[in-house]
Amino acid sequence: MSILFSRECEYALQAVSYLALKPAGELTSIKDLTKKLRIPYHFLAKILQRLVGKGLLISQKGPSGGFGLAAPAESITLFHVVDAVDGSDFLHRCVMGFPECSGKHPCAVHGTWGDLREKVYQMLVNQNVAQTAQEMRKPEYRD
């Protein structure tokens, strides 16, 4: 599990990146996704339905059904996925967990975390899933 994001969010980023490699309009079954990405079926189903509800994915039931991106991969940023699953609270929370942490009452790493948080945010909003998918080196993304 990453430092910033939940396991659910990590899996969402993986699945959306995988779907970004598919031609527009092509649907991928959850069975294929779970096999390729090695994500538990029921956990992935829950994640994908959340992304459908947030408008990032489309789904179709039936033998030829599956999941696909609801918009061009170039228009979906990593931040869209993170925000849909985990929200954007990490942008406002103290990394040490102090609720009263602020510029007026900073924790020991307040300044450093603020700089890092801004860099993370910029990376998430500036990187789209098309770029992420194209730069992916894991073999399961290249079938």
> To 10 degrees, the CA torsion angle through 3, 139, 77, 93?
0
Q: What is the pLDDT of residue 140?
A: 67
41 lies in some domain = yes
Would you say 65 and 30 are in contact if contact means Cβ atoms under 8 Å apart?
Answer: no
The CA-based diameter of the chain, rounded to the nearest angstrom, is 58
pLDDT band at 90 (very low <50, low <70, confident <90, very high): confident
Mean pLDDT of 3-13: 91
Q: What is the pLDDT of residue 142?
A: 61
pTM summary value:
0.88
Q: What is the pLDDT of residue 51?
A: 98
44 lies in some domain = yes
Mean pLDDT of 36-55: 96
Domain that holds residue 46: 7-141
**What's the structural domain count of the chain?**
1
1 lies in some domain = no
Mean pLDDT of 109-113: 91
Q: How far apart are CA 91 and CA 124, in angstroms?
A: 12
Mean pLDDT of 115-126: 94
Q: How far apart are CA 72 and CA 100, in angstroms?
A: 41
Q: What is the pLDDT of residue 70?
A: 97
Q: What is the pLDDT of residue 83?
A: 97
Which of 15, 141, 27 shows the shortest CA–CA distance to 78?
Answer: 15
3-state secondary structure of 28: strand
Q: Residue 81 sits in a domain of what CATH number?
A: 1.10.10.10
Q: What is the pLDDT of residue 45?
A: 96
